[in-house]
Amino acid sequence: MPPRRRSASGYRGVRERPNGRFYAEIRSGNLRLSLGTYDTAHEAAHAFDATAWRLGRPPRQMNFQDVYTLQQALDVAPPPRVNSAQDRAEHTAWQRRLLVAQEDERVMAEWRRRHPEDVAYKQGYWTRRREEDTRRRRDERLDRRRRKALASAQADLVNAGGSSFFTEEDERWFDIWLSTSDDTNDDDDDADDWSDWD
């Protein structure tokens, strides 16, 4: 029987997980034996070789040909990471959350399919809310500009030797320092704030 093809990790029986760790497994007949998860592909390959020695595999089916005895293979093979009860509980919790999220997606897709009029109403509602908020912010900016212009005109009048109809204690003098910068686009004001609701 020819030796098994090496995986993308470069070692037999070693696969890279999405989280960047390496998973080792070996086949024995119809069984697939899990050897654990390791930090590096090199460690996982040594674990594969130690098990291959135990199963009586020939050296040409191993990752490292410079190991000549079972004891040498066991000496260089790292122990697998032990899954604690907390690890298992966290895994179970994540699995539950994933199932709930998948079920939510399925139910929402079914709801959208069965009730297109509700979907249209919801989209219309949030469109109106965006338009109202844009209009309100635009009005607030115009009001700030008007108040600042009035206060600046009064200050210019006083500086030119005239008299102002503002008294010295009038809070409208503070309007001179109002920020009236318009660094947002009216069309996409707070677009991110409402995007989650669409």
Look up the CATH number of the domain holding residue 27: 3.30.730.10
Range of the domain at 20: 14-76
89 in a structural domain: no
Q: Are residues 67 and 119 in the same domain?
A: no
The number of domains in the chain is 2
**According to the model, what pLDDT value does residue 19 have?**
84
Q: Does 37 fall in a domain?
A: yes
In the chain, what percentage of residues exceed pLDDT 90?
A: 20
Determine, yes or no, domain membership for 39.
Answer: yes
Domain assignment present for residue 107? The answer is no
In a domain, 103, yes or no: no
Residue 61 lies in a domain: yes
Establish if 81 belongs to a structural domain.
Answer: no
Q: Are 185 and 119 members of one domain? A: yes
Instruction: Answer yes or no: do 129 and 187 share one domain.
Output: yes
- 118 band by pLDDT with thresholds 50, 70 and 90: very high
Calculate ∠ Cα 66-38-58, nearest 5°.
30
pLDDT of residue 176: 72
Is residue 59 domain-resident? yes
Specify the pTM: 0.38
pLDDT digits (tens, 9 = 90+) for 63-88: 887 777 777 777 767 665 556 677 77
Q: If we measure between CA atoms, which residue out of 21, 16, 25, 28 comes closest to residue 47?
A: 25
Question: Mean pLDDT for the chain?
Answer: 78
Q: Are residues 126 and 60 in the same domain?
A: no
